[in-house]
Amino acid sequence: MPGSGAVTRNTLRQQIADALRDEVLAGRLPPGQEFTVKQIAEQYEVSATPVREALVDLSAQGLLESVQHRGFRVKVFTVDDFRGMIEARTLIVDGIFRRLVERGTAPGCGEQLVSVRRRAEEAQRAAESGSLEVLIGYDLRFWRELGGLVGNAYISEFLHRIRVQCWVFAVPYLKSEPQLRSLLWCGHTELLNAVTRADADEVRRLVHAYNQHGLDWAADLRAAGE
């Protein structure tokens, strides 16, 4: 069938990009690690073309950097980068929740709310148990679906990208923490409940606490000389 080859290649490209993103988020591809298209192609036993395309996609998302004549490198984010991500996230999230509380969700979101609640419960459970890798997956899905209730795909995609970058920065530090559970935000269900009942004051309080949680941790890292 005409075009089937392109569809297959694009699907493979996305699969490779997703797999590599998961490796970075899990800390198995740590910040600063370099690799070539050939190495990744051999690892996944695929041709170089979809690998190169996947790596370019991840570079465009700010997770990788191209290293001239050497391949690609997992981007190293600084504490200042992390603070900048949180500040950008704060400005947009405040607007999203003001919209959700004042005007309600986009039409036909009943089933989506059920899904968001499931993500919230799983993310909170993972945070409370200190299951970092499980938390990351559910946390990203929770915020992406919650932001999607506004009905603006551009905003949802932008915030998802920032959150992925935040986790990429945070994972190497969190994996070495002996008291991990005390550092993980776990207000997912509480926030969703406040949004559902349109409690504007409580939503503002929880969103502020969520953002301040990240800023306080960044300040602790800076004080420790990270």
By the 8 A CB rule, do 160 and 140 touch? yes
Dist. CA 172–CA 188, nearest whole Å: 23
In the predicted structure, residue 4 carries a pLDDT above the cut 50 = no
Per the prediction, the chain carries an average pLDDT of 87
Are 101 and 63 contained in the same domain? Answer: no
Domain count for the chain, please give it: 2
The SS3 of residue 132 is helix
Are 89 and 63 contained in the same domain? Answer: no
Instruction: Give pLDDT, residue 2.
Output: 39
Q: What is the CATH number of the domain that holds 211?
A: 1.20.120.530
Number of H helices, E strands in the chain: 9, 3
Give tens-digit pLDDT for 26-82: 999 999 999 999 999 999 999 999 999 999 999 999 999 999 888 999 999 999 999
- 57-61, 92-96, 206-210: lowest mean pLDDT where? 92-96
* Domain region containing 116: 79-223
Q: In one letter, which amino acid is 8? A: T
Dist. CA 219–CA 226, nearest whole Å: 10
Are 107 and 152 contained in the same domain? Answer: yes
Dist. CA 2–CA 23, nearest whole Å: 34
Cα-to-chain-centroid distance, residue 59: 15
In the predicted structure, residue 1 carries a pLDDT above the cut 50 = no
